[in-house]
């Protein structure tokens, strides 16, 4: 019976798999491979390996110690501007870049922004390959995502996956939230930081920045639209201007009776734990225990909401901060200053 079954399947007279799906699967694999290969070949020449030297705390003999580190980046203008992560180059005393063609360059920092974990450095080179920048606003969950970088020093490594989610928030090294972060399962490792996340058409859609240690397939990239905005400001001013009011605060729930009595849109606020001496908050009369519920007329549900509203447009501009002091609602005038962080 077995011999007869095998004979009929070989002759195509029995209920066997149609060879057409096999052919189609092969075509799909070829298309996927072609997309990854094409995108990698287009962008890889613009990807840089970044090596940095940082001065750390002094040793016991009083001499400063140096620490070596590094990551990835990519050239995004013909005159040698390179995007990377702030945590890769922040505080570096020396920055060196190497490209896939073997050329090596010293680099200098144009500016970095720890709040978004982005930085711009520049090299002096000619005939540089430029990575084209895409539009992270038009991304869709499930589309192909390709990461290129130098994990653990293995230069110009390519990994591929999909866009797993959009609109994530990620806590930066400065403590602020980075908004509109891309989640991907394209594998990232130490050394990938600052490298490009690329779409199937070879455009950079994000700057790879973080993974969750111990997890699999949970990797994150800062959307390229955020990177464009930050890079423009860094080129113009060397920094990102943000407002500062000088309070130490944390999220706190509001009593339901107070929420109902004042018809508040949020059920939480930012409780003031202290105000820095001479700060705008102290001059405005903010006290320990006050709960900030609005800033410039915008509801505040917590510290992150307050950070979002403290933009450069608020620097040296008198505005209002609404607080609950015990059960009393107060409107205080405040003039934010420029943050020095």
Residue 25, judged by CB atoms within 10 A of its CB (0-12, 13-18, 19+), counts as exposed
251 and 207 share one domain = no
What mean pLDDT do residues 26-50 have?
88
In a domain, 290, yes or no: yes
Residue 230 has pLDDT above 60, yes or no: yes
In a domain, 9, yes or no: no
Residue 117, phi then psi, degrees to nearest 5: 55, 45
Cα-atom radius of gyration of the chain, to the nearest Å? 26
Q: Cα–Cα distance between 23 and 336 in angstroms, integer?
A: 65
Residue 239 has pLDDT above 70, yes or no: yes
Find the distance separating the first CA and the last CA of the chain, reported in whole Å: 80
Q: Between 1 and 301, name the one with better pLDDT.
A: 301
249 and 334 share one domain = yes
247 and 216 share one domain = no
248 and 322 share one domain = yes
What the block records as the tokens of 108 is: 């200098």
Give tens-digit pLDDT for 271-323. Answer: 999 999 999 999 999 999 999 999 999 999 999 899 889 988 899 999 999 99
Give the per-residue pLDDT at 174. 78
Residue 34 annotated as catalytic: no
> What are the Cα distances from residue 223, in Å, to 63, 128, 160, 161?
41, 24, 17, 16
Show which of 162, 190, 222 is a domain's final residue. Answer: 222
What mean pLDDT do residues 157-180 have?
90
Q: Cα–Cα distance between 15 and 25 in angstroms, integer?
A: 20
- When divided into structural domains, the chain yields a total of 2
Residue 161 has pLDDT above 90, yes or no: yes
Q: pLDDT band at 9, cuts 50/70/90?
A: very low
213 and 155 share one domain = yes
314 and 270 share one domain = yes
217 and 250 share one domain = no
CATH number of the domain that residue 152 is part of: 2.40.10.10
Q: Which of 86, 87, 113, 200 is catalytic?
A: 87
Facing residues of 158 across strands?
148
Residue 193 annotated as catalytic: yes
In a domain, 23, yes or no: no
| Residue 202, domain extent | 136-222
In a domain, 187, yes or no: yes
In a domain, 272, yes or no: yes
CATH number of the domain that residue 280 is part of: 2.30.42.10
> What are the Cα distances from residue 263, in Å, to 254, 293, 301?
12, 12, 14
Could you tell me the pTM of the whole model?
A: 0.79
In a domain, 212, yes or no: yes
Residue 108 annotated as catalytic: no
Q: pLDDT band at 30, cuts 50/70/90?
A: confident
Q: pLDDT band at 31, cuts 50/70/90?
A: confident
In a domain, 274, yes or no: yes
Q: What is the mean pLDDT of the chain?
A: 88
What mean pLDDT do residues 76-98 have?
95
Residue 66, phi then psi, degrees to nearest 5: -110, 145
Q: Which of 72, 136, 172, 193 is catalytic?
A: 193
What the block records as the tokens of 231 is: 């890079």
In a domain, 193, yes or no: yes
Q: 109, 62, 61, 106: which is closest to 88 by C-alpha?
A: 109
Query: HSE-up of 196 (CA within 13 Å, CB side)?
Result: 30
217 and 156 share one domain = yes
Q: Which of 112, 113, 117, 305 is catalytic?
A: 117
């Amino acid at each position: 019976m077995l011999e007869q079954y095998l004979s009929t399947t070989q002759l195509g007279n029995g209920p066997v798999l149609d060879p057409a799906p096999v052919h189609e699967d092969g075509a799909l694999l070829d298309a996927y491979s072609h997309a990854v290969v094409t995108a990698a070949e287009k962008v890889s020449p613009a990807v840089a390996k970044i090596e940095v030297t940082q001065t750390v705390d002094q040793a016991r003999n009083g001499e400063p110690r140096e620490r070596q580190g590094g990551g990835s980046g990519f050239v995004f203008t013909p005159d040698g501007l390179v995007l990377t992560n702030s945590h890769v180059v922040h505080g570096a005393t020396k920055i060196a870049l190497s490209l896939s063609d073997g050329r090596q360059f010293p680099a200098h920092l144009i500016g970095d922004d720890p709040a978004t974990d982005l930085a711009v450095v520049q090299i002096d080179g000619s005939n540089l390959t430029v990575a084209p920048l895409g539009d992270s606003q038009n991304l869709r969950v499930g589309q192909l995502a390709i990461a290129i970088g130098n994990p653990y020093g293995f230069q110009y490594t390519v990994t591929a996956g999909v866009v797993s989610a959009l609109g994530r928030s990620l806590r930066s090294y400065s403590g602020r939230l980075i908004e509109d972060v891309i989640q991907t399962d394209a594998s990232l490792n130490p050394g990938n930081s600052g490298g490009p996340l690329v779409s199937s058409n070879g455009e950079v859609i994000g700057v790879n920045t973080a993974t969750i240690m111990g997890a699999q397939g949970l990797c994150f990239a800062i959307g390229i639209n955020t990177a464009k905005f930050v890079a423009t400001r860094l080129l113009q001013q060397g920094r990102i201007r943000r407002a500062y009011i000088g309070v130490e605060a944390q999220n706190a729930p509001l009593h339901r009776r107070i929420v109902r009595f004042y018809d508040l849109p949020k059920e939480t606020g930012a409780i003031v734990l202290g105000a820095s001496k001479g700060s705008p908050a102290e001059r405005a009369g903010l006290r320990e225990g006050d709960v900030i519920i609005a800033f410039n007329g915008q509801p505040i549900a917590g510290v992150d909401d307050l950070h979002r509203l403290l933009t450069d447009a608020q620097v040296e501009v008198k505005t209002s901060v609404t607080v609950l002091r015990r059960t009393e609602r107060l409107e205080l005038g405040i003039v934010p200053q420029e943050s020095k962080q």
